[in-house]
């Protein structure tokens, strides 16, 4: 299931993915991202992962997400349990010039502020996806 986050407004867009993600949900999310990016340019994006049955691989089955949006995000914040850190780091590696950071669920408020650009934290810059996967924040 996917739900648009209440914090989504202006150049901030976020989604919470829980349990499973369907192809229709993924397609609707991608259309919403495209429309929002056309309106504001680069987006600050949040992906909150909660109670997932498995990795949300459907986002990347055909690499549509990465090829369609690699230039659309200024910042990308991941929020979830520590077990999703590695998955998010690999995901973020496809966004070559996107500033990314993973936050644990208990740091959700900090993640929102970081994605808005209100606070600074150490983040990854993904010019080299291999280096990004090796680095731990």
> What is the rounded radius of gyration, in angstroms, for the C-alpha atoms of the chain?
14
Dist CA 46 CA 29 (whole Å): 12
Which CATH number is 120's domain given? 3.30.750
Question: Residue 53 belongs to what domain range?
Answer: 2-134
pLDDT in tens, 40-91: 989 999 999 887 766 666 665 545 666 677 778 888 898 988 888 877 777 7
DSSP reduced 3-state for 30: helix
Number of H helices, E strands in the chain: 5, 6
For the record, the structure tokens of 39 come out as 């309106």
Sheet containing 73-80, strands listed edge to edge, beginning at the edge strand earlier in sequence: 2-4, 12-19, 43-52, 73-80, 99-104, 124-125
Domains contained in the chain, number? 1
| Distance set, CA 35 to CA 18, 28, 40, 72, 132 (Å) | 23, 11, 9, 11, 29
Whole-prediction pTM: 0.79
Q: Phi and psi of 65, rounded to 5°?
A: -60, -50
Contact 85, 72 (CB under 8 A): no
Predicted confidence at residue 131, as pLDDT, reads: 45
pLDDT in tens, 77-124: 989 888 888 777 777 766 656 788 889 999 999 999 999 988 876 654
């Amino acid at each position: 299931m996917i739900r648009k986050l209440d914090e989504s407004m202006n150049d901030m867009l976020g989604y919470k993915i829980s349990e499973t993600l369907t192809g229709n949900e993924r397609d609707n999310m991608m259309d919403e991202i495209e429309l929002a990016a056309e309106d504001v340019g680069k987006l600050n994006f949040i992906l909150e992962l909660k109670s997932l049955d498995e990795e949300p691989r459907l986002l990347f089955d055909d690499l549509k997400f990465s090829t369609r949006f690699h230039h659309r995000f200024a910042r990308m914040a991941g929020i979830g349990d520590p077990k999703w850190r590695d998955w998010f780091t690999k995901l973020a590696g496809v966004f070559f010039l996107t500033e990314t950071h993973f936050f644990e669920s208990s740091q959700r408020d900090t993640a929102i502020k970081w994605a808005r650009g209100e606070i600074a934290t150490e983040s990854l810059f993904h010019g080299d996806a291999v280096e990004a996967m090796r680095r731990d924040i």
